[in-house]
Structure 1
Amino acid sequence: MSRRAIVTGAAGGIGLAVARALVARGDRVVLADRDERRLAEAAADLGQPHLAADVATDDGIEALVALADLEMGGVDMYVANAGVFRGFGLESSEDDWATSLQVNTMAHVRAARALVPRWVDGDGGIFAVTASAAGLLTQLGSPTYSVSKHAAVGFAEWLAATYGDRGVQVCCLCPMGVRTPMVEGGQTHDDGDARLGHKAVATAGEVMEADDVAQVLLDAIDAKRFLALPHTDVAKMYAQKASDPDRWLSGMQRYRTSLES
């Protein structure tokens, strides 16, 4: 049975890879992104409808769901993938904090408000979140990214605990480095904390291809697992953090020092 999905942040990277994988499975997808030109190209390539919208706003979510209802007759899956990686060190601005929290966390909340009630009253649905290993561990260099991704994981956990037995399947994708323009573009940043953040992403483990990460997400959804972990070492690190946080923090400090040298 084919699904009717919305994928945000779908003009490139993980979002486009997820949309491409869904279409290959026979699903219909509405693609969303703020980059209108790249989004239109991606949607044309896949032969799917699209909307250039700010999914961190209620108006953006409302317009996106309305388009999905019009084009596909409903929504069975929502992939909250849009994200930003900005704000480095304690010098992160108020705007950096606000934007990170709105896009990386509150966009998920607003989408859930729009879709979860109809799923509970209807035939159910799937709410998938692209968080990050930073949401389970931390993100060196960027407090805004770390905090907003922790919040994204926390919201996904709450959603699963509250609605997971009421017809709403929740899946939380937490990769480390993925080969996307966002990751590759920060290696030569002028800000030292920014370089640290990007270097940590690029060197913490294998930098995976977006298509492989998308497949891990879909496999986790098929298996009805909450966590989708493309980098298997994340599970081990997460367990170590929980069992001995002081030792884990000491290790993170050593890792930070090695990246700064």
Structure 2
Amino acid sequence: MSTDAEMQCFGPAALYLRKSERERIEAQNSPFDAKSSYFVTEPAEMYLKGKLIKKESGKATVEIQGGKTLTVKDDDIFPMNPPKYDKIEDMAMMTHLSEPSVLYNLKERYAAWMIYTYSGLFCVTVNPYKWLPVYDAVVVAGYRGKKRIEAPPHIFSISDNAYQALLQDLLEKSRVTFQLSAERSYHIFYQLATGHKPELIDALLITTNPYDFPMISNGEITVKSIDDIEEFIATDVSTNAKYKTFTL
């Protein structure tokens, strides 16, 4: 976890990206009783934090804020995580991963305007319905070249890591920028060049001659066993977002 000093590279956005060192230390030192700290289902609020009073005969009694008690089925209570997991950046790291623990974590991060949260391989985003200063050039530079675990959750991290993986994966890099004499690049490039959909030629600012584009004409431009027009028809009918897909 980066220090406050290391977070300065993100400028004013740091406040919206990661908890401060002080908050993390306070959370780690907060008292916590793992045996009695539970979430309990509640019709109006869905889940509430509470203290387990007793469990017997398949029922659990939980005291919630204000001294009120709720008695529910054993299956309707869920253990809470220690305070050090509050506003955790990757929910897959939680000791107790459950619906209430996920919802409360997203809620508490949202309350601090930390709208990006990882859940394993996924990046969860909660719409803030307001502009946040987390998209400027300073933030872009802060994420550039960093591994996912080295920076707070953000769509910029996802993008930069995908780009770095593209550069480092020799097969994919060669396919995009260079091909050996007996190879060709991704089939869609040659399918578009068939001119089967002439309206796309002008719209995409391309030509029907693959040799006009050095990055796809280092090797073969045709394959005997592949009918590019037939394959293009199959590609075209397989998606609704055609134009946006082809522009990529």
Which of the five TM-score ranges fits, normalised by the shorter chain?
under 0.3
Structure 2 length as normaliser, TM-score?
0.27
Q: Looking at secondary structure, tell me which structure has more helix per residue.
A: 1
Which is higher, the Rg of structure 1 or of structure 2? 2
- Where relative contact order (Cα < 8 A, 6+ residues apart) is larger, the structure is 1
